[in-house]
């Protein structure tokens, strides 16, 4: 079974330029309806390989979530989007099953509030919002009071001042220094994440400190330090306006709705840019040396057919013998067309694909069942996605070109992917037959040379 003969691979979608945020935002807004309705289809991607099927584990290798993650790490270099998206899905599920009394501590961040904060960030900045006189009177003398904060040194000069209850960025070092005496429950790692999160709020000109009684507050602080803060190890590609609005939302609540706008942006990037490129890349069943080798074979077949047609035409053989040159034309053109789309017809004949370089040197016990536990890329709070120090890079560079052309192969398990490749192969055969018929017809119309 194959798809329509007019099938075309998903077109390559370049990464959005941060300087073109307006056009990207317009495209995202026009696509939001299809995202939330669950009917977002992209040309060239069958339903069996849709974004939702890949994310929910409804596909087979090489189109699984693990393969998608590897593609984003090693090819597109934007794995932080998928890592954050997977964390948010899990976080929303865990928040939904909390007891009602804990949910009440983190109220929902409504769309009207989010729009108001975005507007404030565009005009005056979120940190410049004024408090009512009653609220200002309640917060007077605390870290939540408007105006400049009182530092630790200023408190030391006046014994009648009450020290701040919420540790600021400067006071965080005091808590760290007390760890040896057992006076603080903060570990070094926690203090680091809290310091980074506090720095992110300070850079956004936000004066309120997050409420520590809300559920998952520590985890949210780690997410801020990992994905949101400037210079974070997995920093998301967010505009200053988006980052400020998000931090203000997280300043007030840990409800999943606080991430609404950011998750929408990340999901749009994954669904309409990364996923189509991943499917397009997965259709290629050979590595680059093998595809170049296949293109060379295709050109060789075409040249062979052309030479055969010329020699038979110049000889005294009958016109019917010139049809034999069509063999070289059909094989050569079909191989070249398939290779132009990243496929090797020899590998396709067995429904095989080359192992990726990072798969070649994987340990034998890294089965698909425990890979996610061992692979740090599936750790939502892990380090950066740098892979330059991974051992497979040096090993693969040492392999000679012949070994790369004839690298190890594995069977393609995903049926929908095999159907796409079957369709492309039939298209290549059809194109080669049409072109070969035209070329052979031209040679058959020429008179015999009778030179030998």
What whole-number percentage of the chain has pLDDT above 90?
57
**What does the alpha-carbon distance between residue 122 and residue 347 come to, in Å, rounded to a whole number?**
55
pLDDT band at 156 (very low <50, low <70, confident <90, very high): very low
Reported pTM: 0.78
Tally of CA atoms within 13 A in the half-sphere of 120 that contains its CB:
21
Q: What is the pLDDT of residue 189?
A: 55
pLDDT band at 210 (very low <50, low <70, confident <90, very high): low
3-state class (DSSP) for residue 5: coil
Which of 18-27, 217-226, 385-394, 404-413 bottoms out in mean pLDDT, i.e. has the lowest?
A: 18-27
Q: Where are the alpha helices (DSSP H) in 163-234?
A: 172-177, 188-203, 217-223
**What does the alpha-carbon distance between residue 171 and residue 163 come to, in Å, rounded to a whole number?**
10
pLDDT band at 213 (very low <50, low <70, confident <90, very high): confident
Q: What is the pLDDT of residue 361?
A: 85
CA distances from 203 to 168, 198, 224, 269, 383 (A): 13, 9, 13, 26, 22
| 399 CB neighbour count, 10 Å cutoff | 13
Q: What is the pLDDT of residues 348-360, one digit of tens each?
A: 999 999 999 999 9
Q: What is the pLDDT of residue 88?
A: 96
Q: What is the pLDDT of residue 337?
A: 96
Q: Which of 189, 205, 213, 201 is nearest to 250 (CA)?
A: 201
Q: What is the pLDDT of residue 147?
A: 54
- Enclosing H/E stretch for 66: helix 65-71
**What does the alpha-carbon distance between residue 94 and residue 88 come to, in Å, rounded to a whole number?**
10
Q: What is the CA radius of gyration of the chain?
A: 30
pLDDT > 90? residue 65: yes
- The H helix count followed by the E strand count for the chain is 22, 2
pLDDT > 60? residue 413: yes
Q: What is the pLDDT of residue 140?
A: 57
Q: What is the pLDDT of residues 396-410, one digit of tens each?
A: 999 999 999 999 999
Q: Is the separation of the CB atoms in 340 and 376 below 8 Å?
A: no
Which of 175-184, 228-237, 391-400, 424-433 bottoms out in mean pLDDT, i.e. has the lowest?
A: 175-184
Q: What is the pLDDT of residues 218-273, one digit of tens each?
A: 999 999 999 999 889 999 999 889 999 999 899 889 999 999 999 999 999 999 99
pLDDT band at 362 (very low <50, low <70, confident <90, very high): confident
CA distances from 84 to 264, 345, 365, 379, 423 (A): 12, 38, 28, 10, 35
Q: What is the pLDDT of residues 436-452, one digit of tens each?
A: 999 999 999 999 888 88
Give the burial class of 96: count Cβ atoms within 10 A of its Cβ; 0-12 exposed, 13-18 middle, 19 or more buried: exposed
Classify strands 409-411 and 352-354 as parallel, antiparallel or unpaired: antiparallel
**What does the alpha-carbon distance between residue 265 and residue 162 come to, in Å, rounded to a whole number?**
43
Which of 34-43, 98-107, 376-385 bottoms out in mean pLDDT, i.e. has the lowest?
A: 34-43
Q: What is the pLDDT of residue 178?
A: 37
- Mean of pLDDT over the chain: 80
Hey, CA dihedral for 31, 34, 38, 40, is it positive or negative? Answer: negative
Q: Which of 23, 87, 65, 113 is nearest to 228 (CA)?
A: 87
Q: What is the pLDDT of residue 382?
A: 80
Q: What is the pLDDT of residues 291-336, one digit of tens each?
A: 999 999 999 999 999 999 999 999 988 888 999 999 999 999 999 9
**What does the alpha-carbon distance between residue 305 and residue 213 come to, in Å, rounded to a whole number?**
78
């Amino acid at each position: 079974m194959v798809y329509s003969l007019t099938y075309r691979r998903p077109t390559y979608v370049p990464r959005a330029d941060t300087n073109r945020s307006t056009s990207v935002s317009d495209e995202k807004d026009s696509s939001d309806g299809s995202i939330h309705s669950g009917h977002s289809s992209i040309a060239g991607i069958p339903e069996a390989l849709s974004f939702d099927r890949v994310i929910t584990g409804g596909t087979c290798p090489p189109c699984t979530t693990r393969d998608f993650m590897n593609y984003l790490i090693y090819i597109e270099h934007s794995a932080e989007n998928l890592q954050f998206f997977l964390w948010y899905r899990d976080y929303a599920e865990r928040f939904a099953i909390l007891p009602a009394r804990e949910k009440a501590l983190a109220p929902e961040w409504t769309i009207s509030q989010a729009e108001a904060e975005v507007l404030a960030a565009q005009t005056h900045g979120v940190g410049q919002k004024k408090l009512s006189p009653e609220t200002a009177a309640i917060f007077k003398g605390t870290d939540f009071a408007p105006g400049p904060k009182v530092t630790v040194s200023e408190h030391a000069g006046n014994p009648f001042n009450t020290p701040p209850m919420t540790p600021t960025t400067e006071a965080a070092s005091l808590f760290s220094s007390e760890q040896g005496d057992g006076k603080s429950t903060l570990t070094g790692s926690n203090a680091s994440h809290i310091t980074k999160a506090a720095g992110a709020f300070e850079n956004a000109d936000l004066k309120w400190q997050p409420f520590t009684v809300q559920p998952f507050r520590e985890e949210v602080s780690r997410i801020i330090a990992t994905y949101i803060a400037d210079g974070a190890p997995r920093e998301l590609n967010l505009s200053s306006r988006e980052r400020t609005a998000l931090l203000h939302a997280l300043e007030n609540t840990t409800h999943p709705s606080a991430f609404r706008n950011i998750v929408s942006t990340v999901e749009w990037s994954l669904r309409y840019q990364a996923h189509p490129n991943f499917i397009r890349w997965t259709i290629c069943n050979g590595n680059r040396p093998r595809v170049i080798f296949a293109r060379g074979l295709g050109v060789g077949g075409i040249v062979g057919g052309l030479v055969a047609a010329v020699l038979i035409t110049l000889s005294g053989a009958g016109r019917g013998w010139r049809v034999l040159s069509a063999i070289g034309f059909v094989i050569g053109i079909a191989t070249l067309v398939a290779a132009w789309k990243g496929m090797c017809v020899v590998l396709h004949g067995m429904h095989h694909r080359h192992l990726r370089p990072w798969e070649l040197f994987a340990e034998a016990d890294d089965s698909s069942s425990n890979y996610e536990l061992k692979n740090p890329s599936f750790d939502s709070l892990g380090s950066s996605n740098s892979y330059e120090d991974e051992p497979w890079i040096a090993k693969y560079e040492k392999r000679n070109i012949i070994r790369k052309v004839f690298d190890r192969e594995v069977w393609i398990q995903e049926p929908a992917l095999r159907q796409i490749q079957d369709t492309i192969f039939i298209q290549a055969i059809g194109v080669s037959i049409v072109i070969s018929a035209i070329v052979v017809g031209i040679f058959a119309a020429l008179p015999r040379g009778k030179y030998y």
